Amino acid sequence: MKHLYIVRHAKAGGQPPEAKLTELGKKQAESLVTFFQGREINAIYSSPFLRAVKTIQPLALERGLPVIQDERLSERVLSETALEDWMMHLEKSFEDFDYFLEGGESNRSAFERASSFIEDIMTSPDDHIIAVSHGNLTTLLLNYFDDRFGYKELMELSNPDVYHIILEDEKNDVNRIWKEE
């Protein structure tokens, strides 16, 4: 039986890959150390985006584990240009997984990237794994295990957020375990 914890990053000061955590986000990252007390963790993977790495770094340091950066956990790029109506395009991309804008990535392409990551960790020797990502990609990771996860569930995610997936045989149990403090 494997345990996968999918973590959405803490509060950040923007969307670029180099966006830093806010002061609140830094406190949230520290609170993950306490949150994961009593839970076994064998491996920690993260999007290479700074806000994701910094979210899990305090826990990794406390556990003496490396943060393994994996590009497949990077956030999906909706468009290469700023859009005033980006929320409408984001919602449309969940209605049509092949929809994409110039310079952007479709949900199907991002889902395939996320699926590749999941398939790799499912064959790894580690049984208690954390994967840190971003809102859209976190939703797609969750959708891999439960196809009810879509746009509405993306809009309900918090920063940070934590889901626990128990992988046993062909059955997957997906539960939101994060509690706002």
Region 142-168: mean pLDDT is 95
Helix (H, G, I), strand (E, B) or coil at 69: strand
Q: What is the tens place of the pLDDT at every residue in 70-104?
A: 999 999 999 888 888 999 999 999 999 999 998 99
Q: Residue 170 — very low, low, confident or very high, per pLDDT cuts 50/70/90? A: confident
Q: Residue 167 — very low, low, confident or very high, per pLDDT cuts 50/70/90? A: confident
Number of domains in the chain: 1
Across 30-58, b (16+ Cβ under 10 Å) vs e yields eebeebbeeeebebbbbbebbbbbbbbbb
Instruction: Give the closest residue to 136 by CA, choosing from 85, 84, 88, 94.
Output: 94
pLDDT for the residue numbered 181: 60
Q: Residue 57 — very low, low, confident or very high, per pLDDT cuts 50/70/90? A: very high
User: Does residue 47 fall inside a structural domain?
Assistant: yes
Any idea what the CATH number is for the domain that residue 21 is in? Answer: 3.40.50.1240
Give the separation between CA 169 and CA 181, rounded to whole angstroms. Answer: 34
User: Does residue 37 fall inside a structural domain?
Assistant: yes
Q: How many CB atoms lie within 10 A of CB 165?
A: 21
Sorted by sequence, the CB contacts under 8 Å of residue 31 that are 6+ apart come out as 181
Q: Please, what is the average pLDDT of the chain?
A: 94
User: Does residue 133 fall inside a structural domain?
Assistant: yes
What does residue 100 show for φ and ψ, rounded to 5 degrees? -150, 160
Give the separation between CA 81 and CA 88, rounded to whole angstroms. Answer: 15
Q: What percent of the chain has pLDDT over 70?
A: 99
User: Does residue 87 fall inside a structural domain?
Assistant: no
Give the separation between CA 99 and CA 61, rounded to whole angstroms. Answer: 40
Q: Find the domain containing 61 and state its range.
A: 2-76+125-176
* 5-9, 14-18, 141-145: least confident range: 14-18
Q: Residue 165 — very low, low, confident or very high, per pLDDT cuts 50/70/90? A: very high
Q: How many CB atoms lie within 10 A of CB 87?
A: 12
User: Does residue 114 fall inside a structural domain?
Assistant: no
User: pTM above 0.75?
Assistant: yes
